[in-house]
Amino acid sequence: MVVVDEEGVGGYLLCARDTRAHEAWVEQHWLPGLRADYSLDVDRSPADQEIVELLHSPQIAPDEVVAEFPAHLHIDLLSRCRGRGLGSSLIEGLCSFLTGEGVRGVHLEVGADNEGAIRLYRRLGFVDLGRGASSLYLGRRL
């Protein structure tokens, strides 16, 4: 789903209902070409290098998270679109859709320092599932 306002695209929400199937598809179909295009042995900025390293060693959702919360979502809204209820509406609509599809739970990963987003997710019924290096995993039963 995409958020569009008078200024253009202001955000999006993406979801994979089966995290493991999504990870396998990405590994088989998407990453090989990107790895060929972006080798690890090229000088680049630290920020760019961090992204390239993720292409070569992608993060995999923890088994204990995926077991109970097999779907995962990503949502990003530009600052101009925050505080208007759009994030809540997008997530609630997605959860309703996933429930109708028989999905039993959805999770997300959020930066541990993103206090506003964490408050939003908890208000929407997401609970703490665990920690990553600098992130939190949150999940919601459907």
Taking the C-alpha atoms of residue 38 and residue 83, their distance in angstroms, rounded to an integer, is 37
Taking the C-alpha atoms of residue 124 and residue 85, their distance in angstroms, rounded to an integer, is 12
- Report the pLDDT value the prediction gives residue 125, as an integer from 0 to 100: 97
Q: List the pLDDT tens digit at each of the 142 positions of the chain.
A: 999 999 999 999 999 999 999 999 999 999 999 999 999 999 999 999 999 999 999 989 999 999 999 999 999 999 999 999 999 999 999 999 999 999 999 999 999 999 999 999 999 999 999 998 889 999 999 9
* pTM as predicted: 0.90
On whether the CB atoms of residues 132 and 59 are closer than 8 A, the answer is yes
128 beta partners: 138
Summarised one tens digit per residue, pLDDT across range 16-25 is: 999 999 999 9
Taking the C-alpha atoms of residue 50 and residue 54, their distance in angstroms, rounded to an integer, is 6
Q: Which domains does the chain have, with CATH numbers?
A: 2-141 (3.40.630.30)
